[in-house]
A = this chain, B = another copy of it.
Amino acid sequence: MMTAGTVAEGPAVDCGARLSACGIRPTAQRLRIASLLLAAPQHRSAEQILASLRAEGARVSKATLYNTLNLFAARGLIRQLSVDGARAWFDSNVDPHYHFHDLASGALTDVPVPAVHFSRLPDPPPGTEIAGIDLVIRLRKKM
């Protein structure tokens, strides 16, 4: 259960340690955001995250939320996804994995790495190397 109480218990300790380990000063707002996102793997938009924080009673401004999400993403604590042009999605699972994207509902679902095998990949252009692979499998209703 993700309530305000969660913040003061077990997960909060882990979050503080994780933030410190990343060189991020664990302020109250950052702990609330980290606690929300790192409690379980999830895909959320900034607006959804803000709504959850407010619902929990957290006092976090939009500016701080965006600052924090960008900071977390830069430090590898979360991952920003580009699945639609409208807005950014933040994935709290930073382990390698792929996504299903349901075109009707917009829902994102994880596809674990073992479910996909690349038996051939192109060589990266000279002077470059592969930094990551984003795979989005778009789903429509079966007719």
Contact = CB atoms under 8 A, between A and B. Distances in A.
Nearest to A128: B139
Interface of A: 80, 82-85, 87-88, 100, 102-103, 109, 111, 115-122, 124-125, 127-143
A4 to B, nearest CB: 30
Contacts of A129: 139-143
6 contacts: A82-B82, A116-B120, A119-B119, A127-B142, A128-B142, A129-B142
How many copies of the chain does the oligomer comprise? 2
Q: Is the interface of A mostly helix, strand, loop or mixed?
A: strand
Nearest to A103: B131
Contacts of A141: 127-129
Most buried by B among A83, A115, A121: A121
A110 to B, nearest CB: 10
B115 A128 contact: no
A121 B116 contact: yes
Given A82-B83, A124-B137, A130-B138, 9 more contacts: A102-B128, A103-B131, A116-B118, A117-B120, A118-B119, A124-B139, A129-B142, A130-B137, A134-B137
